[in-house]
Amino acid sequence: MFVVRDKVIHMKDFYIKDARERVGEEVTIMGWVYRKRRHGKLIFVVARDSTGIIQLSVKKQNVDENGFAAARDADIEASIVAHGTVAEDERAPGGVEVRCDEFALVSPAPDFPIQEDTGTEALLDIRHLALRSTKTQKIMKIKSSVIQAARDYFDKHGFHEVFPPILMSVAGEGGSTLFPLEYFGQTAYLSQTAQLHLEAAIFSLENVYSLTPSFRAEKSRTRRHLTEFSHIEGEMAWCDEECNEKVEEGLVASICNAVGSRHADILEEFGQDAAYFRDMEPKFERITYDEAISIINAKGLPIEFGNDLGYEEEKVLTEDFEHPFFVKNFPKDIKAFYMKQKGDRAVCADLEAPAGYGEIIGGSQREDDYQLLVERLLKEGEEIDNYQWYLDLRKYGSVPHSGFGLGIERLVRWILKLEHIRDACLFPRTPSRIYP
């Protein structure tokens, strides 16, 4: 409850998106000043809230003296409450405006530091204010729906959400760089994947997923990397790699369907075809690593068999695909120790987004044999003691199982074709930015 000009207001009961259905009615707008144009005794205030923007026309003859002064003094991003009648008017942006009979300033916003031509760096320095932009607002709505759709999918398919630890004693994937931290006299690390702990959880819940931040201490300076990202990971007992890919494509297609049908307006504002997402089928093409190598070579980019696909290779490989697709059966030497192997190959698949937006999912069937895991850990120079708990999972009722990790920001970036992955993040963390 708060008081504006002697009126007690208990809650907001009008959102700007509903203006068109409320033409002719009196409403109370609560929001922030988005734009302002003064014309002497007439002031146009464009207000925004979480749902949209609308023009408020404030005429001196229609409001009292304090109200007019408030409209005159309300700076960009000042918080305001206004009352008036919703009217159709083709002179107003969007064709609807509110003709105000009351206008009050809730809190001023002198010298808001963002204007039209503010550059990337300056915006990142004041991300806590820049996230008010309608662009960020829309991106975060998409991200929210992506996560909701993912949870819906898992729920419908018999998964349980679990909450693995973020504080870890050892690496999840050998070689990757970890953020160390002081933990009561010993060194702990921020999790770079929940996978190992999810593997433990399947012996209780069989099909599990988690949504956690993951951390990578690589000084990656690219449009595809963050040091902290939102990670959806799934792990399934009694599930081979084929089964794994079915879950992955089902999940991604179902997320795309949901976003396509719920947010056609936002997709189109970002230049995307809503129908493409709404109608996406959970049937993604599968190619092998060997086929990928041939395609890349055929396109004139030489790559030797046995090498991992770098960004240039991914870009060339993905440019002709319309939908996301799997690349399967990478040579075992370029993949992680925990993947099941078959001959010289890892039993794995990465899901690549089209048009060079990069890997969205990395997944594999996991090695379920105790001895083979011990051998690989030793070969990589790891301390077996650190992994004893993980090895125990193969000692007590081991089962074939598979799992995957999906990068939420990468998926959102691909859906909206965002320039940079940090645009898909409220407070992006990169090697050079941990503030604000």
Task: State in angstroms the smallest separation of the CB of 308 from RNA.
Answer: 5
SS3 assignment for 28-91: EEEEEEEEEEEECCEEEEEEEECCEEEEEEEEHHHCCHHHHHHHHHCCCCCEEEEEEEEEECCC
Residue 115 vs residues 34, 131, 168: alpha-carbon distances, Å = 11, 13, 43
Q: Which of 3, 11, 40, 186 binds RNA (CB under 7 A)?
A: 40
Q: DSSP letter string over 335-348? A: S-TTB-EETTEESE
Q: What is d(CA 403, CA 237) in angstroms, rounded to the nearest whole number?
A: 9
Residue 364 vs residues 185, 255, 347: alpha-carbon distances, Å = 36, 21, 6
Q: Which of 16, 47, 360, 415 binds RNA (CB under 7 A)?
A: 360
Q: Which of 223, 246, 278, 286 binds RNA (CB under 7 A)?
A: 223
Q: Which of 48, 83, 197, 216 binds RNA (CB under 7 A)?
A: 216
Task: State in angstroms the smallest separation of the CB of 81 from RNA.
Answer: 20
For residues 355 and 318, the answer to whether their CB atoms sit within 8 Å is yes
Closest to RNA by CB, 223 vs 246, is 223
Instruction: Choose the stretch contacting RNA; rule: CB under 7 A; options: 58-66, 290-298, 376-384, 392-400.
Output: 58-66
Q: What is d(CA 361, CA 366) in angstroms, rounded to the nearest whole number?
A: 15
Does 436 sit behind a cis peptide bond, omega within 30 degrees of 0 on the bond before it? Answer: yes
Task: State in angstroms the smallest separation of the CB of 359 from RNA.
Answer: 4
Task: State in angstroms the smallest separation of the CB of 338 from RNA.
Answer: 11
Instruction: Choose the stretch contacting RNA; rule: CB under 7 A; options: 1-9, 147-155, 223-231, 264-272.
Output: 223-231
At which residue do the structure tokens 């089209």 appear?
A: 354
Q: DSSP letter string over 253-284? A: HHHHHHHHHH-HHHHHHTT--HHHHHT--S--
Q: What residues between 389 and 418 interact with RNA by CB under 7 A? A: 405-407, 409-410
Closest to RNA by CB, 72 vs 141, is 72
Residue 159: name the closest of 233, 230, 262 by CA. Answer: 233
Q: Which of 20, 60, 160, 323 binds RNA (CB under 7 A)?
A: 60
Q: Which of 85, 220, 261, 398 binds RNA (CB under 7 A)?
A: 220
For residues 169 and 274, the answer to whether their CB atoms sit within 8 Å is no
Q: What residues between 148 and 177 interact with RNA by CB under 7 A? A: 173, 175-176
Per-residue binding letters, 299-328, with RNA (x by CB under 7 A): ---------x-xxx-x--------------
Is 362 a binder of RNA (CB under 7 A)? yes
Instruction: Choose the stretch contacting RNA; rule: CB under 7 A; options: 14-22, 260-268, 355-363, 371-379.
Output: 355-363
Q: Which of 9, 106, 124, 264 binds RNA (CB under 7 A)?
A: 124
Q: What residues between 87 and 116 interact with RNA by CB under 7 A? A: 89, 91-93, 97, 99, 110-111, 113, 115-116
Q: Which of 16, 57, 143, 332 binds RNA (CB under 7 A)?
A: 57
Q: What is d(CA 366, CA 347) in angstroms, rounded to the nearest whole number?
A: 8
> 344 φ, ψ to 5°?
-95, 15
Q: Which of 86, 150, 168, 226 binds RNA (CB under 7 A)?
A: 226
**Could you tell me if residue 429 is left (phi over 0), alpha (psi between -120 and 50 degrees) or otherwise beta?**
beta
